[in-house]
Structure 1
């Protein structure tokens, strides 16, 4: 068994990320809460500490591509266990982050994390995405609904004109197929390969810039 703190430190270094001592402490506190609550409620498929550390790295791996696009308030759609919204908030303390989660137990978990880790610029929105009158300049989603003609309106719903949509995806080919649905609605849509330390699975990012009103 690998020490999750060491795994996280090594992974962050491989990603070129240098958290401050307070950011590292916040990431480790969040990791502990994921493990503690994951044993009681369904947060992630594999609640082992090593797998949870890789989840955090997966959330932060696209950060070099994201930094120029992230803006407040940032909406994390279908936040679930807080991935990627909470790691992004920890590593970007200037960001205001809205964690959108419809499921009650997960929303309670997210509220507990915000209190425990002292993420004052984060807010949990316990509601269905389609019921929220959101108009944000940027939204992210990871392990949310697959993008399809039926789910596309949900992804577009919270975005203000000119907003960016950043989607964490798996296989590059699948991401490219989904990106085609977004191209009529954005000024530019790009699919980027992402390398995640210690993860033996393909990862990619759909970066859709400049929401158009069509």
Structure 2
């Protein structure tokens, strides 16, 4: 994972962004660059993401995904509608104690995810080729519900809860990435769900607002 096909400027941008997020670039940058190289290669054929420029991917995919890492704790997390593995794969790389299920119904994206997990040697990630609403908790997840679910660009808050709320046990958390503070979506939350925090995130190199909304499932 030490040989990168990317120019030094891109690697420096990633290193500086990781440092700004309080992460160890020396440890984390090599596997992130390996993931980025795989994504860039597959994207040319399979159109996994609309972002084509690897330098833009550093900001809008890798650093954006990792901006939420201070609010993610070890345990089990289901990344709903993960697409090419965002934010699940960067989070799995940054937190080895986090068990990540990458939930994706699109076949070509699921194939890429399996290849990424294999190539990166991610023992703490698995792929569930399924729609979120069809996914069930099972013995692979310690016999119970997930500690947290996340979604980066899936739906409204109420929509995420509708398709994925069943995966959380009492006290479980939804970690939802949003742009501007979603006041109307917060006001439309269904009964049994409570906002415990809305955190403005500073994503290195990203112009515009970014917020993480944390919603607890009532006990």
Asked if Structure 1 and Structure 2 have the same fold, meaning a TM-score greater than 0.5 normalized by the shorter chain, the answer is yes
* Aligned partner of 1:88 among 88, 91, 96: 91
Count of aligned pairs: 205
Corresponding residue number in structure 2 for 1:34: 39
Alignment of 1:93-132 (within 5 A): 93-132=96-135
Contact 1:176 1:191 in 2 (8 A): no
Q: CA separation of 1:59/1:151 partners in 2, compared to 1, >3 Å: closer, same or farther?
A: closer
Does residue 136 (structure 1) correspond to residue 143 (structure 2)? The answer is: no
Contact 2:74 2:97 in 1 (8 A): no
Q: Displacement of 1:75 after TM fit?
A: 0.5
Q: Displacement of 1:202 after TM fit?
A: 1.4
Q: Deviations over 1:103-130 (max 9, x none)?
A: 0000000000001110011100001111
Q: Which moved more, 1:89-98 or 1:2-11?
A: 2-11
Does residue 147 (structure 1) correspond to residue 157 (structure 2)? The answer is: yes
Q: TM-score of the superposition, structure 2-length normalised?
A: 0.86
Residue aligned with 2:48, SS: coil
Q: CA separation of 1:201/1:2 partners in 2, compared to 1, >3 Å: closer, same or farther?
A: farther
Q: Displacement of 1:165 after TM fit?
A: 0.5
Q: TM-score of the superposition, structure 1-length normalised?
A: 0.88
Whole-Å Cα distance in 1 between the matches of residues 121 and 189 of structure 2?
35
Residue aligned with 1:16, SS: coil
Cα RMSD between the aligned structures? 1.9
Q: Displacement of 1:91 after TM fit?
A: 0.4
Whole-Å Cα distance in 2 between the matches of residues 120 and 161 of structure 1?
27
Q: CA separation of 1:114/1:25 partners in 2, compared to 1, >3 Å: closer, same or farther?
A: same
Q: Displacement of 1:15 after TM fit?
A: 1.4
Does residue 164 (structure 1) correspond to residue 169 (structure 2)? The answer is: no
Does residue 18 (structure 1) correspond to residue 24 (structure 2)? The answer is: yes
Contact 1:191 1:204 in 2 (8 A): yes
Contiguous gaps of at least 5 residues in structure 2: 1-6, 138-144
Structure 1's consecutive aligned runs of 4 or more residues displaced over 4 angstroms after TM superposition are: none
Contact 1:34 1:47 in 2 (8 A): no
Whole-Å Cα distance in 1 between the matches of residues 93 and 118 of structure 2?
13
Contiguous gaps of at least 5 residues in structure 1: none
